[in-house]
Amino acid sequence: GQNIDQPTEMTATEGAIVQINCTYQTSGFNGLFWYQQHAGEAPTFLSYNVLDGLEEKGRFSSFLSRSKGYSYLLLKELQMKDSASYLCAVGNYGQNFVFGPGTRLSVLP
């Protein structure tokens, strides 16, 4: 089974840095993914981690620690358009994605 936890809501200021955490309980998985979903729109892929460590992709970085059952998404130089929900998802061996509940981020001017 899978149990994924994320904070429900976060607020940050334009230009700041924000870290969105994701914790999970699983016996094993292939990859941990982060998706962005703007209100009323479809989720879109942001990043994924297969190995432990930090993956950087422009203003977005994602970190994974399998031993700790923990990942985070780091957003730098926040922009108003970054206001969205951020979904952590785990791809399990022999199964498909399981999404976390999502974190709704509000970026304030």
Partner 1 sequence: DTAVSQTPKYLVTQMGNDKSIKCEQNLGHDTMYWYKQDSKKFLKIMFSYNNKELIINETVPNRFSPKSPDKAHLNLHINSLELGDSAVYFCASSQDGGAADTQYFGPGTRLTVL
Out of 9, 14, 41, 77, the only residue in the binding site for partner 1 (CB under 8 A) is 41
Q: Where in 68-87 is the site for partner 1 (CB under 8 A)? A: 85, 87
CA distance 74 to 62: 6
Instruction: Decide if residue 102 touches partner 1 (CB under 8 A).
Output: yes
Choose between 31 and 69: whose C-beta lies nearer to partner 1: 31
Phi-psi region of 101 (alpha: psi -120 to 50; beta: other; left: phi over 0): alpha
User: Cβ closer to partner 1: 33 or 63?
Assistant: 33
| 24, 29, 63, 86: which one binds partner 1 (CB under 8 A) | 29
Q: Report the distance separating Cα 71 and Cα 62, nearest Å.
A: 7
> Residue 43 interacts with partner 1 (CB under 8 A)?
yes
Shortest CB 36 distance to partner 1, Å: 11
Rounded Cα gap, residues 91 and 56, in angstroms: 20
- Number of DSSP helices (H) and strands (E) in the chain, helices first: 0, 11
Q: Does 106 bind partner 1 (CB under 8 A)?
A: no
Structural contact between residues 67 and 59, judged by C-beta atoms closer than 8 angstroms: no
Q: Which residues would be at the binding site for partner 1 (CB under 8 A)?
A: 29-31, 33, 41-45, 48, 50, 85, 87, 91-99, 101-102, 104
